[in-house]
Amino acid sequence: MTTLSNSAMRDIETILHPTTNLALHRTTGPLVLDRAEGIYVWDTNGKRYIEGLAGLWCTGLGYGNQELVEAAREQMSKLSFTHLFGGRSHEPAIALAEKLKELVPAPASKIFFTSSGSEANDTQIKLAWYYNNARGLPNKKKIISRMKAYHGVTIASASLTGLPIFHTDFDLPIQRVLHTDCPHYWRFGQEGETEEEFATRLAKNLEDLILREGPDTIAAFIAEPVMGAGGVIVPPRTYFEKIQEVLQRYDILMIADEVICGFGRTGNWFGTQTFNIKPDSISMAKAITSAYMPLGAITVSEPVYQAMVEESKKLGVFAHGFTYSGHPVSCAVAVKTLEIYERINIVGHVQKVAPVFQARLNALNDHPLVGETRGVGLIAGVELVKNKATKESFDVRKGVGPKVVKFAEEEGLICRAVAGDTIALCPPLIINEDGINEMFDALVRALNRAEEWVSKEGLRD
């Protein structure tokens, strides 16, 4: 039995950990990290790891970037806090909003700031409802998400999330949230069906859902360009083009959740550009500050903004916002982050190293534990299966995915098991070819150890 450190014992007695098996945590304790630099983190025992998930899909510039540290220090010294309520403002928020309007591939009249992606998607729901009330369409309120989607954990954004574990015993989802098909071709495509035919079927299923519910009751459709926590699911060819044809037919807003894909991850500034999505609004967070400070944002189109102006005339105030909407330190760090991304050409860098990343990923398809690998740019999923021929999954209670993650940790790689037994990889965007090879070498060693463990435990019987 492992003896837990003093820090681990203090953690167990004081911290409620998000998205954690709390019963198991009391036995195993936490991995306590102490410092970080570049693509690496070190624990309190001095062991070094590649941070293979960029924290939580977010540390685009890696760790210890002194320009971001200095941007925060300078802003704290000058104006540590003010807010945007009641018409107040400050230069970092103005500069960041201007820059985002320049970058985003969406009709952005204004930018609304939040502290997280969950708050951003929660706000998207509220604004869709508010907009349709302003338009005299009080019944046009339902939001369509997708099975296996992840959009956050507030009551509203967790309802959008299409993963049952985020609903069970939380009494979710709330009313007026619907879920349509997960666009995972390898898992849900029918025998003999091409990717394009699969996309056509899913678009028809979406239209059938809209017609059953009534087009005059549907406000918006929300989607991640690449589904992250749902298993790193890359959309099939022609999927978004066909989905958007349906949405446009029935006056339904397209919301792109770019919280994971935004700011270079897929090899473009935004995933919407990679997959030819034409969103009405975009949600952002995570890499907007390289996760050095909490910050989220959404774009607001001119029609929605004008409706909000008219509502303010009628009601006296736009009654939505957060204490930390546009926090000056967060905004200052975001401005510097975007400046660095442009200066070092982060998009070009991702495009340069992505072929190495994807080649190492594709090579894992030959491993006996791997059913499918999928990815784009510097994001990937490795789905583990009990039977490669039939695609049968392991019983999730056997914990094969978490076992691989534990073996990887022992081999010096931090990664994550999502949506059951899919190993997610999403390293800092600054990773180079040597770092990519080091990361995949560690994962291969972990998979080999897991294969031995699976055989020893008889998990294929």
**In this predicted structure, what is the pLDDT of residue 346?**
98
**In this predicted structure, what is the pLDDT of residue 332?**
98
Predicted TM-score (pTM) of the model is: 0.95
Could you list the mean pLDDT of each consecutive 10-residue stretch along the chain, which spans 461 residues?
81 90 89 96 97 98 98 98 96 98 97 98 97 96 98 97 96 97 97 97 98 98 98 98 98 98 98 98 98 98 95 94 97 98 98 98 97 98 96 93 97 95 98 98 98 93 67
Q: Where in the chain is the domain with CATH 3.40.640.10?
A: 67-343
**In this predicted structure, what is the pLDDT of residue 105?**
97
Q: What are the angstrom distances between the C-alpha of 254 and each of 190, 282, 455?
A: 27, 9, 46
Residue type, 168: T
CA 74 – CA 284 distance, rounded (Å): 24
**In this predicted structure, what is the pLDDT of residue 460?**
83
In DSSP notation, 244-299 reads: HHHHHHTT-EEEEE-TTTTTTTTSSSSHHHHTT---SEEEE-GGGTTTSS--EEEE
Give the CATH number of domain 67-343: 3.40.640.10
**In this predicted structure, what is the pLDDT of residue 2?**
62
**Alpha helix locations (H) across 290-399?**
302-315, 328-343, 346-363
**In this predicted structure, what is the pLDDT of residue 203?**
98
**In this predicted structure, what is the pLDDT of residue 461?**
67
**In this predicted structure, what is the pLDDT of residue 1?**
47
Residue type, 330: S
Q: Where in the chain is the domain with CATH 3.90.1150.10?
A: 31-64+345-457
CATH class label, 31-64+345-457: alpha beta
Cβ atoms of 418 and 161 closer than 8 Å: no
